[in-house]
Amino acid sequence: MKNSPLELARRQPFSDRPRNLCHEELMRLALEQARLALKEGDVPIGAIVVDAQGQVIGRGYNRREADHDPTAHAEVLALREAASHLGSWRLDGCTLVVTLEPCLMCAGAMLLARLPYLIMGAWEEKTGAAGSVYDVLRDRKLNHWVEVHAGVLADECASLLKDFFHSHRP
């Protein structure tokens, strides 16, 4: 019987996974991207993609307002840059690091890219698709699953968003 990707991931020793930088260091890089969105007046969400050696190969921050593009989410932009860097749509062995739980669109993009790992900061209780509202990334009906590490620097990630929305809403 064939082992599922999730079963294989659970059995793989933690030290064999891409951990050249600790999760907090990676999240700080994603937070730098989020602050770029903030400077442009967009929702401060940032993302990076690192390869199996821990090298940053994709960066993105929300650009929906600047680009007038509903798909210009931080995760999608980082995934696009990583795929371009690798010359392949398959992001095997890569990790996406994002400051906020991905939405359905971004989770779908991660699945289609065959991304094996996600490190995320704050939970998104309204539209999250990595465990809060939906759990698309670990849906057993699909042919690929993503290992999720949640809550990394969650307070700092959430605070950036709360401050943004507090200043933009009455």
Supply the residues annotated as catalytic: 75
- 12-19 own/partner pairs: CB under 8 Å, 24+ apart: 17/117, 18/50, 18/51, 18/52, 18/53, 18/54, 18/93, 18/94, 18/95, 18/117, 19/54
Q: Tell whether 106 is in a known binding site.
A: yes
160/153 Cα distance (integer angstroms): 11
104/137 Cα distance (integer angstroms): 9
Q: Tell whether 144 is in a known binding site.
A: no
Give me the sheet containing 117-122, strands edge to edge: 56-61, 46-50, 95-100, 117-122, 147-149
Q: Tell whether 23 is in a known binding site.
A: no
59/33 Cα distance (integer angstroms): 7
Annotated binding-site members: 73, 103, 106
Task: Specify binding-site residues for Zn(2+).
Answer: 73, 103, 106
